[in-house]
Amino acid sequence: MGADIIQAKYEELESIASCFGQWADNNAEINARIQQAVDKLRRGDWIGKGSEAFFRKMDDEILPAMNRLTTALEQSQRVTREIIFIIQQAEEEAATPFRNGASENREARRTNAAAIDPANPYIVREVSSLFSNQYMGSFVGIKIQGEDTARLNSAMKVLFKNPTGAELDRVLNEIAVIRGVPPAIIRSQYQKYLKLHEQALAIARQKGEEAPTSLNETFHGDFMGSTAQLRYGKVVGDAFGIDPVFGALLNPTGGMVGPGNFAVNPSDDSALGYHGIFHDAAGYLYNYHNIGPGYNYLGQEGQRDPSNPLVGQQSGVRYWTEKLYPGVVTDIALEVGDFVINTTEAGIETARDIGDKIGDFVGDAYEDVKEVFDVIF
């Protein structure tokens, strides 16, 4: 009898891990509120024999039990993510002999990983699956632990500057705690991130292109570790089996809508916001790692150049508008999305600037487009 076939559903496992983390956070918050209330009572709001018995019960049983529950939930999250990591590693090792021929030496292939070759040795899953309806749909409303926090923002900025020694150990441990991932896994994935970064630079040199754009902290200091950036980082990270933090750091402007540091600011859960995440991820993977469909990530724009960021805009905005808001006038949405991208290329930097100009663009259809504009942004 043949061996059992195991299929790992990474999105579902990550969702379970995220739930454990959310429950742990909620429980810790409840525990803190209970502790504050008890402390207030201790300060004289309640005295007598009944209070003594109550405080003893809280100190000896209730509060310790709440703390144990929080710890158990945090541990459950770490274990679930460790399971994901172990299975991904096993799949990567099992797939290695089938990439570029079983007889080829693995280390030789890794040394030559920058060669323009669709069989990238670092991928852990079929890249086309990242742009499937099922996978993209799983991102609607997704929360990533640590997003939009000053703590993760600071840690990622430090890590992007390539610290060494004790400082590197400190920031990796900090990220592990914030993300709820075992430190050993974060350290292992950091080493893979470094290899991927070198591969991206080497491929850029081969193609005569610039390296991925660094984040302009003067204009976008709060973008590091943001919801949009980490969602983008998850797409890239899932291709390589690394945390969204490392996926984001490979291309820090990924998830912004617009070229490089010139960006409009759509809401995180808008059609334009989701389109920007997957459009940027597809373009980055194609241009800097030679994998995936490129900017034409839906495959709906014919034979247009998949390395060109202007490709895939129309089909992407239409797809996400229809997905999020069925029945919206998508032809108008398409025109607005096209207008947004083109005017951003011309140097308009904010959605407010675009809104100021929208009346001139749409003419008599202003009221219809105003409704769609609210949907897209």
pLDDT at position 376, please? 53
pLDDT at residue 7 tops 90: no
pLDDT at position 238, please? 92
pLDDT per residue as tens digits for the range 340-356: 555 544 444 444 444 44
Q: What is the DSSP string of 107-153?
A: HHHHHTTTSS-SS-TT--S-GGGGGSHHHHHTTTT---TTTT-HHHH
pLDDT at position 173, please? 95
pLDDT at position 256, please? 87
pLDDT per residue as tens digits for the range 259-308: 554 555 678 889 999 999 999 999 999 999 999 999 999 999 988 999 99
Provide the β-strand partners of residue 264: 257
Which residue's entry shows tokens 């990567």? 92
Candidate from 41-55, 133-147, 157-171, 311-325 with smallest mean pLDDT: 41-55
Closest residue by Cα to residue 250 from 274, 261, 268, 234? 234
C-beta separation of 122 from 194 below 8 A: no
Q: Which residue has the higher pLDDT, 75 or 210?
A: 210
Mean of the pLDDT values across residues 181-197?
Answer: 93
d(C-alpha 276, C-alpha 256), whole Å: 6
d(C-alpha 51, C-alpha 53), whole Å: 5
Mean of the pLDDT values across residues 303-321?
Answer: 92
Q: 117: left (phi > 0), else alpha (psi -120 to 50), else beta?
A: beta
pLDDT at position 105, please? 44
Candidate from 224-228, 233-237, 261-265 with smallest mean pLDDT: 261-265
pLDDT at residue 50 tops 60: yes
Mean of the pLDDT values across residues 152-158?
Answer: 97
Mean of the pLDDT values across residues 196-208?
Answer: 95
pTM, entire model: 0.63
Q: Which domains does the chain have, with CATH numbers?
A: 10-78 (1.10.287), 120-377 (no CATH)
pLDDT at position 265, please? 65
Question: Is the dihedral angle over the CA atoms 351, 353, 356, 358 positive or is it negative?
Answer: negative
pLDDT at position 296, please? 96
pLDDT at position 203, please? 95
C-beta separation of 89 from 125 below 8 A: no
pLDDT at position 360, please? 47
Residues 6+ apart with CB under 8 A from 21: 73, 74, 77, 145, 180
What pLDDT band is residue 42 in, cutting at 50, 70 and 90? confident
pLDDT at position 103, please? 41
Closest residue by Cα to residue 21 from 133, 135, 124, 142? 142
pLDDT at residue 204 tops 90: yes
pLDDT at position 282, please? 97
